[in-house]
Amino acid sequence: MFEALPAKGVPGDQILAELQQLRSADLPTHGGRLFAYVYDPALDGLDELARAAHAISAHVNGLDPTAFPSLLAMENALVGAAAGLLGGDERTVGSVTSGGTESLILAVKAARDSRPDVTAPRLVVPSTAHAAFAKAAHYLRVALDVVPVGADLRAGPAALAEAIGPDTVLVAASAPSYAHGVVDPIPAIAAVCAERGVRFHVDACFGGWVLPYLRRLGAGLPAFDFSVPGVTSISVDLHKYAYAPKGVSILLHRDEALRLPQYFAYAGWPGYTMINPIISSTRSGGPIAAALATLRHIGDAGYLELAAETREAVTLLADAVTATPGLRLAAPPETTVVCLTSDAAPATAAPTAVDLFVLADELAARGWHTQPQMAYAGMPPTIHLTVTASVRATAPGFAADLADAVAAARAAGPVALPAPLLEAAATLTPEQITPGLIAGLAETLGLGGGDFSRMAAVNTLLNAAPPALREALLTCFLSLLQRPAPAGQEVG
């Protein structure tokens, strides 16, 4: 369809048409039928406003706030709004980052660098903590202590307390967890951390912007923010339930002394002195301007209405799951997640049991795009639904399609992988995974042509593989996909 670097320039209208053609292959970002990755409030005119605001500040560089005070003002306004929503006071400070992963990396960095006396720093998290904590630990060379959660899928304060040692620089918990949407017992964990003198980070990246509104609507959720003594930092993504465009997140600290170790400064070279509050140096002001426009346009009352619509949608979807024989809720739908599982795991189920990976494909065939999650540490495979305000309009139609998809999944039966593949999942080591092996495996599983509409066989194989092997398989597969087109070759 196009070359990235043609011999001669291409008219703008043609370029935009080509981009639209590329987008036609993507999953729908609007319409309330995609339950992961995107957040849609279904508000007329909001996209256009955000795009216009983004354009105004797209070329503003956040590297130097003295050169571009407009961006500094916008960032301070966003931090102030988040602090006010999350129990902060006049001491609360924060930074705008590119997303939740960056916010969590910086929270770990600030904690690590606040303890120069610790030569082997450690991070304590429950097993349901977001994978970005593992990424932060890996990048920052901080040991990761993962503590199993209880049967209720929540972090246990006593278990976390037992894991805290003299080298622990940070403890983290979720409000709510991404996989299941449950809120950890933040007050009890915060009390443990305060008693031990350890920083405590609340990862509210996923739902932190909506939880305060759900609490105002009467949801029986525990306190999780700076109103809880012992909470030292909180992260919240604005590109999730604040419905801002990607990618804007905020990392808050209770006071300035807690934030200072987050900064990076370097003057040991002949150029300008580099001082960065976040990982990026140069960064566009476009997403920040778009986020500010979004918050101001929706307003506090608007967010309360959106939370109410989301809560109604969650109830409708959860009721559909509980009314469907063969399925059950894997966790209470107390926030904005509906997480469902089969009454029996596919590997041990009777012939009439529902294979969740086949069910996910059947739902996709009916226009409902969900997120399958693998089994982990005794937890069964699940299907995750991130519910947004736009789902309120589509949720009534989900029940009938769910029943139909379950019937189709039962008729199809569980995925039966060839014996050699199952043997490989049980015996291969990560070191044995090569690009050639992955290319052949992709062809075997029907992925060679780039059609990802039927993924049950792939997910079944991944579910059978130990986590380390699963990581190696997916890493090599992503590397297989990310190959540049040869010079002069058209793409699309």
Structure tokens at 184: 């950890």
Nearest C-alpha neighbor of 244 from the set 363, 106, 82? 82
Rounded CA separation 93/283 (Å): 20
Residue 346 has a pLDDT of 45
Residue 352 has a pLDDT of 60
Residue 34 has a pLDDT of 94
Residue 489 has a pLDDT of 59
DSSP states of 268-281? -SSSPPEEESSS-S
Residue 490 has a pLDDT of 61
Other Cβ atoms closer than 10 A to 70: 14
For the chain, report the end-to-end CA distance as a whole number of angstroms: 5
- Sheet of strand 371-373, all strands in order from the earlier edge strand to the far edge: 327-329, 337-342, 382-386, 371-373
**Does residue 187 have a cis bond before it (omega within 30 degrees)?**
no
Inter-CA distances, 112 with 123, 142, 246, Å: 9, 8, 28
Stretch (H or E) spanning 14: helix 12-23
Q: How far is CA 235 from the centre of its chain?
A: 12
Q: Which amino acid is at 39?
A: Y
pLDDT tens for the 492 residues of the chain, in order: 678 888 899 999 999 999 999 998 889 999 999 999 999 999 999 999 999 999 999 999 999 999 999 999 999 999 999 999 999 999 999 999 999 999 999 999 999 999 999 999 999 999 999 999 999 999 999 999 999 999 999 999 999 999 999 999 999 999 999 999 999 999 999 999 999 999 999 999 999 999 999 999 999 999 999 999 999 999 999 999 999 999 999 999 999 999 999 999 999 999 999 999 999 999 999 999 999 999 999 999 999 999 999 999 999 999 999 999 999 999 999 999 999 999 864 444 444 679 999 999 999 999 999 999 999 988 999 999 999 999 999 999 998 999 999 999 999 998 888 888 888 888 888 998 888 888 888 887 777 677 787 888 889 888 988 999 998 888 888 888 888 876 655 655
Residue 148 has a pLDDT of 97
Residue 347 has a pLDDT of 44
- For residue 201, what are the β-bridge partners? 172, 233
Domains present along the chain, CATH in parentheses: 1-27+417-492 (no CATH), 52-294 (3.40.640.10), 301-412 (3.90.1150.10)
Nearest C-alpha neighbor of 39 from the set 104, 99, 83? 99
> Quick one: DSSP state of residue 99?
S
Nearest C-alpha neighbor of 240 from the set 335, 364, 127? 335
Model confidence, pTM: 0.94
Q: Which amino acid is at 426?
A: A
Residue 222 has a pLDDT of 92
